[in-house]
Amino acid sequence: MPDTFTALVATVHALKIRFPDHNGPFERVTRLAEESGELAAAVNHAEGTGIKVAKHGPFDPAHLVKEVMDVLRAAVGIAAHYGVVDDLRTAITDHYQRHVALGLIEAPHPGGDQHGDR
Protein backbone atom coordinates (compact mmCIF):
# COMPACT_ATOMS: atom_id res chain seq x y z
CA MET A 1 0.00 0.00 0.00
CA PRO A 2 1.44 3.40 -0.91
CA ASP A 3 1.62 6.21 1.63
CA THR A 4 -1.59 8.16 2.12
CA PHE A 5 -0.66 11.11 -0.08
CA THR A 6 0.48 8.88 -2.95
CA ALA A 7 -2.78 6.92 -2.69
CA LEU A 8 -4.73 10.19 -2.82
CA VAL A 9 -2.85 11.36 -5.93
CA ALA A 10 -3.39 7.98 -7.61
CA THR A 11 -7.11 8.19 -6.83
CA VAL A 12 -7.26 11.68 -8.38
CA HIS A 13 -5.67 10.32 -11.56
CA ALA A 14 -7.97 7.27 -11.57
CA LEU A 15 -11.06 9.46 -11.30
CA LYS A 16 -9.85 11.61 -14.19
CA ILE A 17 -9.67 8.45 -16.31
CA ARG A 18 -13.01 7.12 -15.05
CA PHE A 19 -14.76 10.47 -15.54
CA PRO A 20 -12.86 12.23 -18.35
CA ASP A 21 -15.28 15.13 -18.78
CA HIS A 22 -15.56 18.25 -16.63
CA ASN A 23 -11.97 18.37 -15.38
CA GLY A 24 -11.06 21.90 -16.44
CA PRO A 25 -9.66 24.36 -13.90
CA PHE A 26 -12.93 26.17 -13.25
CA GLU A 27 -14.85 22.90 -12.92
CA ARG A 28 -12.25 21.69 -10.43
CA VAL A 29 -12.53 24.89 -8.37
CA THR A 30 -16.32 24.62 -8.48
CA ARG A 31 -16.03 21.02 -7.27
CA LEU A 32 -13.76 22.12 -4.42
CA ALA A 33 -16.26 24.81 -3.40
CA GLU A 34 -19.12 22.31 -3.50
CA GLU A 35 -17.20 19.73 -1.47
CA SER A 36 -16.15 22.42 1.03
CA GLY A 37 -19.81 23.32 1.49
CA GLU A 38 -20.66 19.68 2.14
CA LEU A 39 -17.83 19.49 4.68
CA ALA A 40 -19.16 22.64 6.36
CA ALA A 41 -22.59 21.00 6.60
CA ALA A 42 -21.02 17.87 8.13
CA VAL A 43 -19.17 20.00 10.72
CA ASN A 44 -22.43 21.82 11.47
CA HIS A 45 -24.07 18.42 12.01
CA ALA A 46 -21.17 17.22 14.19
CA GLU A 47 -21.52 20.30 16.38
CA GLY A 48 -25.27 19.86 16.65
CA THR A 49 -26.03 23.37 15.44
CA GLY A 50 -29.16 24.33 13.60
CA ILE A 51 -31.61 21.57 12.78
CA LYS A 52 -29.06 19.10 11.38
CA VAL A 53 -29.51 16.47 14.11
CA ALA A 54 -33.31 16.70 13.96
CA LYS A 55 -33.24 16.55 10.17
CA HIS A 56 -30.47 13.99 9.60
CA GLY A 57 -30.31 12.00 12.83
CA PRO A 58 -27.24 11.45 14.97
CA PHE A 59 -23.80 12.53 13.80
CA ASP A 60 -21.95 9.90 11.74
CA PRO A 61 -18.14 10.24 11.91
CA ALA A 62 -17.81 8.17 8.71
CA HIS A 63 -19.77 10.86 6.84
CA LEU A 64 -17.41 13.56 8.13
CA VAL A 65 -14.42 11.48 7.02
CA LYS A 66 -15.94 11.11 3.54
CA GLU A 67 -16.45 14.86 3.24
CA VAL A 68 -12.88 15.62 4.38
CA MET A 69 -11.60 13.09 1.83
CA ASP A 70 -13.70 14.70 -0.93
CA VAL A 71 -12.21 18.14 -0.14
CA LEU A 72 -8.67 16.76 -0.12
CA ARG A 73 -9.27 14.93 -3.40
CA ALA A 74 -10.69 18.06 -5.04
CA ALA A 75 -7.77 20.20 -3.84
CA VAL A 76 -5.16 17.67 -4.98
CA GLY A 77 -7.01 17.47 -8.31
CA ILE A 78 -6.26 21.17 -8.80
CA ALA A 79 -2.59 20.57 -8.02
CA ALA A 80 -2.55 17.67 -10.50
CA HIS A 81 -4.24 19.79 -13.16
CA TYR A 82 -1.41 22.32 -12.93
CA GLY A 83 1.34 19.70 -12.60
CA VAL A 84 2.45 20.79 -9.13
CA VAL A 85 1.82 17.60 -7.14
CA ASP A 86 5.55 17.10 -6.50
CA ASP A 87 5.85 20.74 -5.42
CA LEU A 88 2.89 20.22 -3.09
CA ARG A 89 4.52 17.11 -1.61
CA THR A 90 7.74 19.09 -1.05
CA ALA A 91 5.85 22.01 0.50
CA ILE A 92 4.03 19.66 2.90
CA THR A 93 7.34 18.04 3.91
CA ASP A 94 9.03 21.43 4.37
CA HIS A 95 6.13 22.70 6.48
CA TYR A 96 6.25 19.56 8.62
CA GLN A 97 10.01 19.87 9.11
CA ARG A 98 9.69 23.53 10.16
CA HIS A 99 7.23 22.50 12.87
CA VAL A 100 9.52 19.66 13.99
CA ALA A 101 12.38 22.19 14.23
CA LEU A 102 10.16 24.45 16.34
CA GLY A 103 9.49 21.55 18.71
CA LEU A 104 5.78 21.54 17.91
CA ILE A 105 5.91 18.04 16.41
CA GLU A 106 7.84 15.15 17.86
CA ALA A 107 9.63 13.52 14.94
CA PRO A 108 9.14 9.75 14.77
CA HIS A 109 12.10 7.65 15.78
CA PRO A 110 13.62 5.41 13.07
CA GLY A 111 11.82 2.09 13.05
CA GLY A 112 9.11 3.42 15.37
CA ASP A 113 5.39 3.82 14.79
CA GLN A 114 4.77 6.87 12.58
CA HIS A 115 1.17 7.49 13.71
CA GLY A 116 -1.44 8.45 11.20
CA ASP A 117 0.02 7.49 7.81
CA ARG A 118 -0.75 3.81 7.61
- 28-49 pLDDT, tens digit each: 999 999 999 999 999 999 998 8
Residues 92-97: what's their mean pLDDT? 97
Q: Where are the domains of the chain?
A: 4-84
Q: For the stretch 80-117, what's the b/e string if a residue is b when 16 or more beta carbons lie within 10 angstroms of its beta carbon? A: bbeeebeebeeeeeeeeeeeeeeeeeeeeeeeeeeeee
Contact 94, 65 (CB under 8 A): no
Contact 12, 77 (CB under 8 A): yes
Dihedral over Cα of 56, 61, 66, 70: its sign: positive
Amino acid at 93: T
The pTM for the full model equals: 0.85
Q: Across the chain, what does the average pLDDT equal?
A: 92
Cα–Cα distance for residue pair 19/72, rounded to 1 Å: 18
Residue 118 has pLDDT above 60, yes or no: no
Residues 48-63: what's their mean pLDDT? 84
CATH number of 4-84: 1.10.287
